[in-house]
Structure 1
């Protein structure tokens, strides 16, 4: 029996790996002949079991790029309607490049992480300026906001470049195949995982092979409760042979920091909501005025103290509307929302924008603004402002107030 092939009585977890007549491999990695068999099994499984998603029905690099950016911080279920709406509004890279950034942000409303939309706008202009879409992962990485994963996804799916996509799902699959206890968040840099990924993602059909690994991690090789009997790689999976697939990869969570306390104010002037730019939760677009609350200070006191600097008006005693918890990446917030009755007279006026409640759906916004305005609607008698849900067209007719102007 050639050295490295499985035999009865051998320690569990080494079956299918090592050196053999079919080619050589590093210790613990599949042989060349095994890798070819795994590629075929993976592709067959994907074509039979994949979810029917609209971005999988196209080789258009623009549509694939939009879908990859959208899915960076958005679930598939939430992304589906917004993907179609975004492409209807900006059907090609030329349309996106010609649009004002404010239009792109408005279409992105409600999805959060607005740097994605800004980078889409900037990158579209760069693509048009260079005369066409980059065709390699290396070229794609020169675009604003495009990292190694997105570049590999677009290059492989649209142009069949054999470059593997290494995200958390793929690292989990391959770390289990190798029984390699890498740290989940840094596994993309592991040499053995990278070599195995590269051996599985080859042309032709490089894009399908990448998507197969992603799909396998998302639907079968889950963090908890992996469905090993359905896995096309189960015959060589060392973690499965060991009986402990959930031990791989290693997940080390940093100690959670206490939530940041925020006070958010809802103020209405002559039927118009007061919005300000650049708050704790958002950068580069409008939001409700908010302040970070320090130790030993009440939310109401902090908001009233900072209100003149935020809005250019004096504040009466804020009335609590309610509260909720909110997260942005790894940072957690405990938010209290107040109704504020304000009046002109600040010695330090600030820029504000007054927006009709009916136009809120066309103002770029995130989940925190939606939740705060839901509280306002429920708790304020006679309020008739609809919760913004995004999908509006164009920029609302707002009434800007410049620094130095009274409200």
Structure 2
């Protein structure tokens, strides 16, 4: 009254609209990230069932495949809804931070891999980082009409930043074009492999940043302003159709670069690098091009929350993948770690590595010969495991099958040599024990 008392926040119409849009931005981005993780796991489960069936789809795998493709497309487009209600930085952080924990949880539900300690810790760290980021970022003018959007996009700082992104994307595309290969080559030099992963990451990250800015462009054309606006004005505006077309183009380019990176690059290098670069470039684009830095309440808190979230993402990506690669992607495999400390901590490893003269006999039953590990096999397995760790691929089951084939060939060769040696000894023993005729 008379200016002595301020209007409470919950009675302020502008504040209520801002809080509602904040909730809608966070919820829609989180639901989109969870849906992307869910249907991505459905696609992985369909591929897993197909490979176990000899490369042929079953009714269940085909159903999972179709549902996964449709759901991935729907929730991939739904991830842009959060950009309509909130800022680019907040929508990007919530969307990326909810996808990986959902991927870890649904992978456990579908039996794709076990839930390890890094999944739980990474999920907790990522969620706490998202909450802290939301608190420290603040909440100011997050929606812009068409005139405000165009004025911010054609500012000198925005032009310089978008030029840098475009140059990085063009250079990365040229590098991939001049260093293209028909398939992933394991003999590729480590430096070239890293450059390939960085190039694919830059194409995907720059496309993601341009896509988010384009989404803010067509959504700004539908915002009511003093000069008019609304849905009819948005559909009749050239800015709306230009931004929508660019959004679709960069969305396709981002999906292609993601698939390229997963197929042609080391996934343990590409996935963490790609996730981190997507978050950093998209947040930087919102801060620079749309002046979202003005709403930040605490820069030290924002940096700390961002680093905490990135650490959680690294735990969610690298920890389970390295665990699966080191374990050979199979709990029932007879291949064990060559580390003596791990061998002593597991009794079954000691029984498998303990050899006796009876184990080298060719009369041993096939069932027992399948469980034992003879010295020649052990050397082959250890060498294969070292190759597996050097490649550090999340698709370790491919290399596991290769190890099984090599070990089977080594086992057959050793058993053949043992059989020949045993037969020679028997012939020698029979010749030496033959009765001799008495001398006259």
TM-score normalised by the chain length of structure 1: 0.27
Asked which structure has the greater CA Rg, the reply is 2
Which structure exhibits the higher relative contact order, with contacts defined as CA atoms closer than 8 Å and separated by 6 or more residues?
A: 2
TM-score normalised by the chain length of structure 2: 0.26
Q: Structure 1 or 2: larger helix share?
A: 2
Q: Structure 1 or 2: larger strand share?
A: 1
